[in-house]
Structure 1
């Protein structure tokens, strides 16, 4: 995936901080013991590492959030182009209405769980050198909630079909976990279900009530596509309504015999 390295580093730092506080705590404590500073020296190093970590975690600037948003917006633009390639389409074929782009948290990523004290210690050292993804919710200075793992959908509309591209990825390094496409004829769409839900998420050790919107496109075979969007985007009253109106119009054309879809 495209994306500037600097932008990715900003995204990673925004959600995870840097590794320097952890390295200070580990190697600084070892150095204190080697130098004979004893428990007091270890405690001083650990306190310094904790303070450093808290400053990184809570001292987020608006410029960081803007850089994160810009990187994710660039990814979403790339996904639209990627969707055309995966589906074998050109933009002229899907210009019926504006494509719907949906972003939400990716819940299905399974983070490896250490099974013993040794594996837990090993996992800590691995994190010093290798990025280990996990779903993190972060409440920003602009009162927006951002998430470290993303599930994105792109809905495209031709004269006869709805095309869906789905991708689950890590914006911190661009790694793709899942990717799929689907195609639905308008005549086969049974219904579009919409709704809202509120989830309690943990950010900075604080529970926040976060609203999400969702909708499902269900076809007569029972197949469906389920998309979750941040409630701040308010797509239900605009973009999803436009999709519903289009489906309704196409099905009416079919029933009246005015179309050969």
Structure 2
């Protein structure tokens, strides 16, 4: 899980060019209207300081694509991690392809959450989550994870096993959540959520970043669960 925490913090930090621009303007005014050498020198220093301030404010600030890429790289080996946490061998769970869903998590994990709307109008969160589902002959095995993109060691994991007869539904649904973004403005975030529900009323959920990429495997999971329930 190679996450660039320090770089990602810059993405979720509110940055304004105002101070740098003001310093540059003051420097230009001093340089143009004053004739004394010392005043001109101070004006040039102010311009240089303003440029430097703008550079250090925005240099290295990651793009929307950088954050998406960091999240993707962090879960590149999630299938292997899930098998290890569940104590499974891949040969035991080859009935169908595993279901892997993941997306930005807009709630707290431990220390909080930062939310920013990107240039593409997508709300990205400093927290991320996902689920991996494996299918053996008699049971469904689930691994859920949540982690921070800006705070090291801030993560949660859980594993569960369900008999097919105890699964009520596997569904996706549209959800709405109210958040405060990095400008402290309340925003409404709309996203798709995956949900598995059991007869005991328990459920396991995850947001879905790209519903199109998982629709086929979710459909396959529904079919298998339905067949297993009929056979049980």
**TM-score normalized by the length of structure 1:** 0.62
* Candidates 6, 10, 13, aligned match of 2:7: 10
Change (3 A) 1:157 1:248: same
Q: Deviations over 1:180-224 (max 9, x none)?
A: 100112122123344212234443535544322223322233332
Q: Which one is further off, 233-242 or 163-172?
A: 233-242
Change (3 A) 1:91 1:239: same
Does the aligned pair in 1 maintain the 2:171–2:194 contact within 8 Å? yes
Shift of 1:75: 1.4
Change (3 A) 1:201 1:17: closer
Q: Distance in 1 between matches of 2:140 and 2:117?
A: 34
Unaligned segments of structure 2, at least 5 residues? 16-45
Unaligned segments of structure 1, at least 5 residues? 19-43, 112-133, 255-261
Q: Deviations over 1:54-95 (max 9, x none)?
A: 954xx997x633332222112112332211111111223323
| Larger-gyration structure (1/2) | 2
**Alignment-derived partner of residue 73 in structure 1:** 72
Q: What's the C-alpha RMSD, in Å, of the aligned pairs?
A: 3.4
Does the aligned pair in 1 maintain the 2:147–2:156 contact within 8 Å? yes
Structure 1 residue runs of 4+, over 6 Å off?
Answer: none
Change (3 A) 1:194 1:70: closer
Q: Distance in 2 between matches of 1:240 and 1:139?
A: 28
Q: Deviations over 1:14-60 (max 9, x none)?
A: 22379xxxxxxxxxxxxxxxxxxxxxxxxx9xxx7xx859954xx99
Change (3 A) 1:89 1:233: same
Report how many residues are paired: 197
What aligned pairs does 1:35-114 form with structure 2 within 5 A after superposition? 56=58, 64-99=63-98, 100-111=100-111
